Amino acid sequence: MARTVKVAAAQVGAVHLDADRKETVDRLVALLREAAAQKVQLVVFPECTLTTFFPRYLFESQEELDMYFEHGEDVTTSEHVKSLAEEARKHNIDFVLGYAERTTEGTGYNTCIYYSATEGKVVSKYRKVHLPGTKEPFEDPDAINQLEKRYFEPGNLGFQAFRVPGLVSNALKKDSAGADENNAGKGDPILGMLICNDRRWPEAWRVYSLQGVELIVFGFNTGSNMAHLWGSKPMSSEQAEAEALFHSRLVQQANSYMNACFSISSARCGFDDGKFDLIAGSAICNPEGHLLAEAKTKGDELVVAEIDLSECRQGKEKTFDFARHRRIETYGLVVTQTGVVELPLL
């Protein structure tokens, strides 16, 4: 039985340091309206969508830093974001939104939420687990910093997959399911959320796929040339951008295949303040690892595809039937050791 959903990555181009938050949200609303015109059901916005990617800057004052955060428990009721939620309800479109979260206790997280239009509320929240970069800025004044370890705590919500109501018709519900039937792949879609650097860590995808995930969504801010952080050999800025894009596609396609799930990636991209270049390449990928749609620009752009979640069954029941093929007695090091312990010398 087909379980189709029309989905989109809402790629967002340059957002400058002094951008007006309302104007930025208006751009998101415009993308949502375009999605409505194309009968899209789910729109994925990027990581830290509401501001420039501020972890590249060193803020000395807490007050100044706090201007880049959303405060309080529910971002969709905040002054700026509520217009986006209203628009989503009007068109019955779900959305995923990344933002910097300051909790009421004062902790900073790099967060995203899933807003369900049918439910009229946030049904899941995820806080970025893998924070790249450094706590202290580089001494080299020309280096581009990534101070996420300074401004955010690692996410404390784990990788909680969740079912989304209202996206597919005829979803099997627990009241009508037979107790002894195999109901795998028949219920409401199972989703998981990641944020940017998380996409490079196979453990994150695997924890989701062990919960039957059918669609993983994530936003990103990926510098096209971050020589101080990538550790790559010297290359031209064109080569560096091509390489960053290659790795971004590589991890999305490979992990979608190895976990037999669809994925949507959504980029904050373009030249922030005319000098910080972020890659684009927002894309929708199927469970066989093929891209179904990909951004053609480095600006605001809606990347749309219709996906049929029943296509996950092939991988989940054959090549990657975890129950039959995984050998957990051999994987212990993955959860008992963090860094590499190289073998003794011969």
Does 196 contact ligand CDT by CB under 6 A? yes
What count of residues does the chain have? 346
Q: Between residues 47 and 241, which has the closer beta carbon with respect to ligand CDT?
A: 47
* C-alpha–C-alpha distance, residues 224 and 53, integer Å: 13
Instruction: Confirm whether 128 is a catalytic residue.
Output: yes
How close are the terminal C-alpha atoms of the chain, in Å?
Answer: 57
* C-alpha–C-alpha distance, residues 66 and 74, integer Å: 17
Does 194 contact ligand CDT by CB under 6 A? no
Does 11 contact ligand CDT by CB under 6 A? no
Q: Are 261 and 213 in contact (CB under 8 A)?
A: yes
- Range 146-185, binding ligand CDT (CB under 6 A): 146
Pick one of 80, 82, 200, 249: the residue that binds ligand CDT (CB under 6 A).
Answer: 200
Stretch that binds ligand CDT, among 8-16, 193-201, 252-260, 305-313 (CB under 6 A): 193-201
Does 24 contact ligand CDT by CB under 6 A? no
* C-alpha–C-alpha distance, residues 89 and 87, integer Å: 5
Does 197 contact ligand CDT by CB under 6 A? yes
Q: Are 112 and 81 in contact (CB under 8 A)?
A: no
Does 320 contact ligand CDT by CB under 6 A? no
How many residues line the site for ligand CDT (CB under 6 A)?
14
Does 222 contact ligand CDT by CB under 6 A? yes
State the catalytic residue, choosing from 48, 112, 196, 261.
196
Instruction: Confirm whether 312 is a catalytic residue.
Output: no
**What kind and span of H or E run contains 87?**
helix 82-91
Q: Residue 199's CB: how many other CB atoms inside 10 A?
A: 23
- Range 76-135, binding ligand CDT (CB under 6 A): 132-133
Ramachandran angles phi, psi of 75, nearest 5°: -65, -25
Does 51 contact ligand CDT by CB under 6 A? no
Which residues are identified as catalytic? 47, 128, 196
